Structure 1
């Protein structure tokens, strides 16, 4: 694999494919070679070359960047902006880990239990330091990485919901593992169907509906996963009114973990961009889910809302003052008064100076009066306001 690197990153053992910025008097360099001598390394560094191409299939690659250290002790609460940098690195690392785990399961190999356990623990610790950072970042995924990052997101949501339900620590970890592995059956379905841009045919949809059973079979063969983890994999598409699949279970026939999994799976799915459907906003998703009679256990769903908020992080809202803002952070004491960063005047239809408002301190002065659709205002991407991505929000 060819990779362009700065000359400062060149190391002995790398295979130099091509040197950039060569002057005529540098013609003594061959086109490509394995770098084995310190003298050659110094000559390249002293030649005024800024970048070069290496071939990682024929020599060493650049070493991976060291993982960021957590911003605080494992479970010590910290500020949102402090946790979000670590959570961003954790999302990247988690995706790579899930790819490896899924590959092991698909090939019939025993997945590294220690790696799965450590990943779930890292996600759990991040949520303990700040519950909004990782859950919000995990929602920001491309269509191509959906299957893997969806698993990371559902893992986090299951952990958060388990804590909201006051489950013991052992079950919280098990809930996270169930969320991480709930969609492993999709690995047995062709990428052509999973990545199809248009509506699935009846035949294709029938194939997709088999993924809970396929996943259950894969996990059962390993004999290393608990009955609860297997149950979530098999029954996360059951509905409380009995209209789900594959077994049309209803009410108390559906385990608590599977009822939790159904909510977490749907929420992350509809708030994510998928090949066949653009994402709904977090607040719109909560509102729509609340209106789906018969889908979810009502008590578990109410606990889920307390976990992510009525206006989750990233929601576009209009305030009574006439300003538009993006929800930055939840106020666990009151779901109606989160922290909001205002950036646009709906009255003047123009951007305003970004100001962070803690609505819990402005009761009687300002409040959220509606959720808004970014598309209706022409905003391209609002996530940079809370995540730091360099995007413009000017219509």
Structure 2
């Protein structure tokens, strides 16, 4: 049986099933470990972990600890309550109408980040007059239709992750700021911070940055220098505002003080940097890396919601979920009817009832004629169905992003 316990309940003889954190935040080679000595306990406590999951079939038990199913049920209930709230997002054009423009914006932003990283490696300054227009293009695409660019940016290979991660963080930070009703200048500066937040990684050797296995302590120490390196690079570039500088320096800090580089407590982390830090983790969880298999956007949001008790501001996590939706655009979902579909547009007030393009039957295991279903409408009016779960495209061997547009 899988149970969730506090770290201070962990004892020698227990079996850790899941450290309940991002892979880089715990000090072991794998996510499942048999606890055989006190040194391991000290190592876990020293990593700043608060809660984790144990497997009682493979180690000692904790009688009063909740099971993984009980934890999941509580989270699901809380998400159901959270799902109904007004949204600030309004679509100016359809997903299909924006898609071609969004492709151009994505490709241009990718090239700008790649070139900026190359310049830094060659000892040159970041050219802000090249970078800033891209932030504006991203903002304009989001204003026309938020789902198009965000959906496209879910397509990453492990080879182009470093560059597209920066583009995605910029895009999601701008969307988050827009959803929060922040002014245009603040939104632009936060987006610039998102685009440049990892510029310090240009100084990290490729063999460390793209290492397929667990980093050694020495390698991790090099990785942890990138926020300060990035901050110094931007200072030398001149004319970089306080918001991008702060995001670059502090995007790995956490609310409980367990982050790096300065282990700042939550009250000393600016709101915009907290937003960027949350987005940074969300995109990392949902992206394939050489050392990490991506999880679905819906699953990542549930994990971040669970972690918000310690690592993130709970109200901010809820606001982000309202921004991108509990089932973000591009998510593959299974409906009560047995059909698979891709989410193409969130509902304005009910995050559990988006518009979905259905295209596959799980009952016959075959493709069906694609059509759009509005889950907020009753049966006979283009609706009458509901989401049962998010699904893995690999499991069904389908590419949901091919069906984001029906034209």
Q: What TM-score range do you get, normalising by the shorter chain?
A: 0.7 to 0.9
Corresponding residue of 1:345? 361
Residue 178 of structure 1 pairs with residue 196 of structure 2: no
Of 378-387 and 197-206, more deviation after overlay is shown by 378-387
* Equivalences for residues 1-395 of structure 1 within 5 A: 77-292=92-307, 293-362=309-378, 365-375=384-394, 377-386=395-404
Q: 2 CA distance for matches of 1:104 and 1:76?
A: 37
Higher normalized contact order (CA 8 Å, seq sep 6+, divided by chain length): 2
Report if aligned partners of 1:108, 1:222 keep a CA contact under 8 Å in 2: no
* 3-state SS of paired residue (1:152): helix
Q: What are the Cα deviations for residues 248-289 of structure 1, in whole angstroms up to 9, with x where unaligned? A: 112211111110111111111111111211211111111121
Q: 1 CA distance for matches of 2:175 and 2:275?
A: 11
Report if aligned partners of 1:238, 1:248 keep a CA contact under 8 Å in 2: yes
* 3-state SS of paired residue (1:291): helix
Of 147-156 and 219-228, more deviation after overlay is shown by 219-228
Q: What are the Cα deviations for residues 7-30 of structure 1, in whole angstroms up to 9, with x where unaligned? A: xxxxxxxxxxxxxxxxxxxxxxxx
Q: 1 CA distance for matches of 2:96 and 2:341?
A: 17
* 3-state SS of paired residue (2:340): strand
Corresponding residue of 2:50? none
Corresponding residue of 1:11? none
Report if aligned partners of 1:282, 1:313 keep a CA contact under 8 Å in 2: no
How far did residue 83 of structure 1 move?
0.5
Task: Kindly name which structure, 1 or 2, has the bigger radius of gyration based on alpha carbons.
Answer: 1
How far did residue 108 of structure 1 move?
4.3
* 3-state SS of paired residue (1:341): strand
Report if aligned partners of 2:120, 2:202 keep a CA contact under 8 Å in 1: no
Q: What are the Cα deviations for residues 116-157 of structure 1, in whole angstroms up to 9, with x where unaligned? A: 221110000000000111111122122121111111111111
Aligned length: 313
Q: 2 CA distance for matches of 1:251 and 1:297?
A: 8
The change in CA–CA distance for 1:76 and 1:139 in structure 2 (over 3 A counts) is closer
Of 102-111 and 220-229, more deviation after overlay is shown by 102-111
How far did residue 101 of structure 1 move?
2.4
The change in CA–CA distance for 1:282 and 1:76 in structure 2 (over 3 A counts) is closer
Flag structure 2 segments of 5+ consecutive residues without an equivalent: 1-89
Q: 1 CA distance for matches of 2:177 and 2:167?
A: 15
Q: 2 CA distance for matches of 1:355 and 1:240?
A: 44
How far did residue 107 of structure 1 move?
3.9
Q: 1 CA distance for matches of 2:262 and 2:225?
A: 11
Q: What are the Cα deviations for residues 60-105 of structure 1, in whole angstroms up to 9, with x where unaligned? A: xxxxxxxxxxxxxxx9811101111111111111111112223334
Report if aligned partners of 2:125, 2:233 keep a CA contact under 8 Å in 1: no
How far did residue 237 of structure 1 move?
0.7
Report if aligned partners of 1:237, 1:245 keep a CA contact under 8 Å in 2: yes
The change in CA–CA distance for 1:183 and 1:118 in structure 2 (over 3 A counts) is same
**TM-score (norm. length: structure 2):** 0.73
Report if aligned partners of 1:318, 1:368 keep a CA contact under 8 Å in 2: yes
Q: 2 CA distance for matches of 1:218 and 1:113?
A: 12
* 3-state SS of paired residue (1:365): coil
How far did residue 381 of structure 1 move?
3.0
How far did residue 387 of structure 1 move?
6.5
Q: 2 CA distance for matches of 1:216 and 1:157?
A: 21
Corresponding residue of 1:59? none
Q: 2 CA distance for matches of 1:319 and 1:380?
A: 16
Aligned CA-pair RMSD: 2.0
Q: 2 CA distance for matches of 1:220 and 1:387?
A: 43
